[in-house]
Structure 1
Amino acid sequence: MTTTSARNTDAPAAQVPDYPMPRAARCPFDPPPALDALQERAPISRVRLWDGSTPWLVTRYEDTRALLADPRISAESNLPHYPHMSPAQKERRRQSRTFITMDDPEHARLRRMVTAAFSIKQVEALRPAIQKIVEDLIDAMLAGPKPVDLVQEFALPVPSLVICELLGVPYADHDFFQANSKILIKRTSTVEQGRVATQQLLDYLDRQIGVKLAHPADDLLTTLAERVRAGELSRREAASMGMLLLIAGHETTANMIALGTLALLQHPDQLGRLRESDDPKVVASAVEELLRYLTIVHSGRRRVALEDIEVGGVTIRAGEGVVLANDVANRDPDVFPAPDQLDLDRNPRRHVAFGFGVHQCLGQPLARVELQVVYSTLYRRIPTLKLAVDLDEIPFKHDGNVYGVYELPVTW
């Protein structure tokens, strides 16, 4: 394996595959077949990104975890050779850097400012409110016409309502921030589109920070506004953090709700097991397995090596870009037996869907509670839920950095 990887290092440019790679049409829930092949024969190898750069792609679970925890790997997006996901995202990072693309100690200083709001204790206190949001949205669907688009009528509103309440921004503005966030997570968006979307969101969050400075409330934007008042943050930094939380707080969970539902509908035995259980531990474990199985952030974690690092028989040189493909890492057969099977009885707690190390997802406690409430409620309330179209008619987000479906027509 070491020999193969080393040989791949010197491969002609024409042999370096493009990344991200296409999925197999008949296996929309699985990572691209080419990723599986690389994991088996060349688990650390070069790939080509949209801008022609050729960072290292890491595909095995143990290598991925080791590098995510390695202080010699940097998340700094302003370093040369940082492997940006798209032109729009590169422009967003230029205009608005946040703690997720910083290293310690600045990363830790900024992250600590909002950590308390996403603690397990604080998030558990939100469970009744999240339950009410889910129940109300299901009531509205049941009272309306069929079929419905589960994305628009349920999957997007659930996390959007929650994050708006947590941040303290008006839910009435959700169309505005959802439209702009879609531009920023779409790989095909242009630099100009990314610039405009970023600026519009920053201006919006800056105005909201101004509102909180004048009229404090019990919400996260007020917490950031107080940091501005104390001189610990500039308004631009506070707006950037607010934008990060707003985008991350609804896009990823919304896609997990819709894609998870579709995956369960395609695995009725697993859906039945989840629907018929009222054990919170069963529901929590099912959420972890769906997170492992789907791993919707499917463009990898992006890093730059600060020093030469030997991993898996390959030397990654200082200054080289690294992409850690956590979607295929979560399908590593050395860690998860029969990894391509959705198995709700599995114990998948070691998955890396939320990353690993100091940069693992800040909002994972909130995402877990939202998904637990949704997956334990939707299929119990609507036991005959089914697709209203054939699977091959579902529009998947093959052009996004976050995987999911654009629409999910369902009926019952």
Structure 2
Amino acid sequence: MAELESSRQQAAEPGLLHVDAKLDHSEFFREECKDLILQVATTTRRMQDSDGNQLKQRARDLQFVKQELELKLEETIVEVDALVALQSRVVKALDATGEPLRVTVLCLQERLKRPPSEMRHDEVDAELAKEKEAFEGVASLLQRVAGQIKEQIRLNRSAKYHLEHDLKDKFETETIDDSCAIMTVHSRDNRRLQTTGCFPPSVPVTPEQCEDISDANMAKAEQQRNSSASLRVLVELVLEQTAADMQKRIRYTAAAFQINIQEIKSAKSQMEDRIPKIQSEILGQQTIREDLLAAVAETERSLGLAQTRLGLRQLRPGKEHCQDAVQTQLVSEVQQLNAHVSRLREQALRSEEVQRMLTKLRVQLQENIEQKSRSLYIDEVLCSQHREPVVIRHF
């Protein structure tokens, strides 16, 4: 019996050893699990803390870049508004060249209606031609400037679009990172994303590349802003210079008109002063011709008397028919009187010719006066009326 009990105990001992070994293994495994849980929890907290720090740093970086982008965007918007306002001024200045140019052309056309004798290329025509050329040049220049401003506005708006798009991306990224920073394991979004598996696809862009994109957008905006500022300075100078050039040309043309008007008035006045003198001389010639004709008649009567006396003396008796002093005197008197009559008649004809010449000269002067009056009316009235409303403004 004792041997049998000992055999049973020996048989049972291996089973207990196995159990103890299993128990020890289980206890060791539990300890390992506890260590693993603690290690995983520690690592997880450390990773979450690191994630939080990275997210905070990223948020600070994003905020800094956003501030720079917002500053560039504000500067670009201000520059676009300034260019748009300047474009409006250039368009107004361009439109304002139309009326002065139309008036200049109209004055040239009006002066073509001058009488043929007044149709000469004078200083007024020269100044009007220069004025027309200057106004056309200003219009052409302003047209080109308007095109340059339009193109620069397009470039500025392109830079503004990229800045706005970049800011929008930065804002969305900041919103997402802020959500990630406040997210916990109990957050609804966390559970929702876990259940749906809806993760945004990764974009093959490094942070450096992303920063380079923003730097490129800001550099482009700065470049366009500088170009825009330079263009505005140039356009301001163009507006000032073109207005000054147009005003100068108008002053020069106005001075030429005034000089020409004074010259026409002076010439017309001198011609008008000659008319009464010519008329008086015509009457004087008529009077002197009448006096000459009266003298011819009187001389012819004296000639008739002398000829009658000679005829009567031809009736003297033969012995008395001698060439005495009386006879000689009468013959000489007849000859002289004939010469006087011829001379008087000749002068009377010359007086008539002079009167006709003076009459023709008076008509010519009157025609010239009328032509001067027509030219004066065109320059002093018509052209002045056309040019008076023209005002060159600096837009």
- TM-score exceeds 0.5: no
Q: Which has the higher helix share?
A: 2
Shorter-chain TM range is under 0.3
TM-score, normalised with respect to structure 2: 0.18
Q: Which has the higher strand share?
A: 1
